[in-house]
């Protein structure tokens, strides 16, 4: 025959990202109305609706659709993971943590609203995430998911946020900052697996579960895929840090240049870091090999998107 073997099915990734992000943004806007007390809801909306890339909610929707579920079913978990991501950014920026003035191209939450409201906005987003995920009214009435699925999602998300997940990563990060000796690479990896990969994992796993994915092996493959994405994101970020700050030397505020963080380029060099990026991208895609390539196309392209830091 004349068929050509397509290794990478044609796929309008940019259009996909734009339409999914638009659906997510609509849902986020509706999820936090400007009720009383007005100021706290303003602070929550300020950080949540600022221009994030929406990678986590898009992963959640993509995994749901891969599992055969409709997008509408993935919206509540997608909103929940973005709320948790946003609250972790708000708390990470606080003076008692990283003390950052800028986030998502605008003053950080505590810069705009003061520290007390920023702490509360984080706490409120964390609890609202679980409220939305668990409330049957969040789901379209003709599509309500079985309670057993919702329960698994709640448990998975709770595990990923707490002292086995994001919080563990943040604590390890705090403890390894400012040390005089360099941090061992497995410690750096531990930090990234917890601070970054855990929520990416939860995003795809929640999507797959809510979409009706029931094969534990497939869910495990998606989890491994997302773990690769988390490391990938951080190694790419570390590389950009070096290449950017050498270009902008003298222009940036001192903080980044005298950063005491252990980065991959510092630990294994720039060349090896770039090789590691290629390996992680390859491994991420290997975990998708058992799925129908057409259905897995969004997840495949998301790995490239992160590798190329195409934002
Ligand atoms: C979760 C209870 C609780 C407390 C928070 C502060 C903290 C504990 C954890 C820190 C988590 C953190 C800030 C991880 C970094 C994650 C990361 C890769 C951020 C950048 O993500 P992008 O590029 O950002 O997806 P946008 O703005 O596009 O969403």
Is 60 exceeded by the pLDDT of residue 20?
A: yes
Ligand 1 center to residue 141 CA distance, Å?
Answer: 32
Atom of ligand 1 nearest to the CA of 84: 1
Q: What is the pLDDT of residue 224?
A: 98
Residue 48 Cβ inside 6 Å of ligand 1? The answer reads no
pLDDT of residue 251: 46
Atom number of ligand 1 nearest to Cα 126: 2
pLDDT in tens, 200-214: 999 999 999 999 999
The preferred substitution site among 28, 87, 89 for testing ligand 1, maximizing ligand atoms within 8 Å of CB, is 89
23-37, 87-101, 245-259, range with the lowest pLDDT = 245-259
Q: What is the pLDDT of residue 301?
A: 96
134: pLDDT confidence band, cut at 50, 70 and 90?
A: very high
What's the whole-model pTM score? 0.94
The pLDDT of residue 248 is 64
C-beta of 192 in contact with ligand 1 (< 6 A): no
Q: What is the mean pLDDT of residues 227-238?
A: 96
3-state SS, one letter per residue, for the chain: CCCCCCCCCCCCHHHHHHHHHHHHHHHHHHHCCCCCCHHHHHHHHHHHCCCCCCHHHHHHHHHHHHCCCCHHHHHHHHHHHHHHHHHHHHHHHCCCCCCCCEECCEECHHHHHCHHHHHHHHHHHHHHHHHHHHCHHHCCHHHCCCHHHHHHHHHHHHHHHCCCCHHHHHHHHHHHCCCCCCCCHHHHHHHHHHHHHHHHHHHHHHHHHHCCCCCHHHHHHHHHHHHHHHHHHHHHHHHHHHHHHHHCCCCCCHHHCCCCCCCHHHHHCHHHHHHHHHHHHHHHHHCCCCCCHHHHHHHHHHHHHHHCCCC
Return the pLDDT at 8: 59
* Residue 7, pLDDT above cutoff 80: no
Q: Which fold has domain 13-247+255-307?
A: Farnesyl Diphosphate Synthase (1.10.600)
Lowest-pLDDT range of 50-64, 169-183, 189-203, 218-232:
169-183
Q: Is the CB of 53 under 6 A from ligand 1?
A: yes
Q: What is the residue extent of each domain of the chain?
A: 13-247+255-307
Q: Is residue 55's pLDDT more than 90? A: yes
Q: Residue of the nearest CA to atom 6 in ligand 1?
A: 92
Atom in ligand 1 nearest the alpha carbon of residue 88: 5
Q: At what angle do helices 147-161 and 166-176 cross, to 10 degrees?
A: 10
Lowest model confidence (mean pLDDT) among 3-7, 165-169, 186-190: 3-7
**203 CB near ligand 1 (under 6 Å):** no
Q: Which residue has the higher pLDDT, 95 or 1?
A: 95
* Cβ 167 under 6 angstroms from ligand 1: yes
Residue in 51, 80, 84, 92 to alter for ligand 1 test, most ligand atoms within 8 A of Cβ? 92
ipTM of the complex: 0.96
Looking at per-residue pLDDT, the higher value among 295 and 245 belongs to 295
Establish whether residue 55 lines the binding site of ligand 1, counting it when its CB lies within 6 angstroms of any ligand atom: yes
Residue nearest ligand 1's atom 24 by CA: 52
Residue located nearest, by CA, to atom 8 of ligand 1: 167
What was the pLDDT predicted at 126? 98
pLDDT per position as a tens digit, 105-127: 999 999 999 999 999 999 999 99
């Amino acid at each position: 025959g004349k068929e050509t073997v397509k290794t990478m099915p044609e796929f309008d990734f940019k259009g996909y990202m734009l339409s999914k992000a638009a659906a997510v943004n609509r849902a986020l806007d509706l999820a936090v109305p400007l009720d009383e007390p007005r100021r706290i809801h303003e602070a929550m909306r300020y950080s949540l609706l600022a221009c994030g890339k929406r990678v986590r909610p898009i992963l959640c929707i993509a995994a749901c659709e891969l599992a055969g579920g409709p997008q509408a079913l993935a919206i509540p978990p997608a909103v929940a993971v973005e709320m948790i991501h946003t609250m972790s950014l708000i708390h990470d920026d606080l003076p008692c943590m990283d003390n950052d003035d800028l986030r998502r191209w605008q003053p950080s939450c505590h810069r705009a609203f003061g520290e007390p409201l920023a702490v509360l906005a984080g706490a409120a987003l964390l609890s609202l995430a679980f409220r939305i995920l668990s409330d049957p009214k969040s789901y379209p009435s003709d599509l309500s998911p079985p309670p057993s699925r919702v329960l698994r999602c709640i448990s998975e998300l709770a595990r990923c946020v707490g002292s086995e997940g994001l919080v563990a990563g943040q604590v390890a990060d705090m403890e390894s900052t400012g040390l005089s000796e360099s941090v061992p690479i497995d410690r750096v990896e531990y930090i990234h697996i917890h601070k970054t990969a855990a929520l990416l994992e939860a995003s795809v796993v929640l999507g797959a579960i809510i979409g009706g994915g029931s094969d534990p092996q497939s869910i495990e493959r998606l989890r491994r895929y997302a773990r690769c994405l988390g490391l990938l994101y951080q190694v790419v970020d570390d590389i950009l840090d070096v290449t950017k700050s050498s270009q902008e030397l003298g222009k940036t505020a001192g903080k980044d240049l005298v950063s005491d963080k252990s980065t991959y380029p510092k630990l294994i060099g720039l060349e090896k870091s770039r090789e590691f990026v290629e390996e992680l991208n390859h491994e991420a895609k290997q975990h998708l090999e058992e799925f129908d390539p057409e259905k897995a196309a969004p997840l495949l392209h998301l790995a490239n998107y992160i590798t190329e830091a195409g934002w």
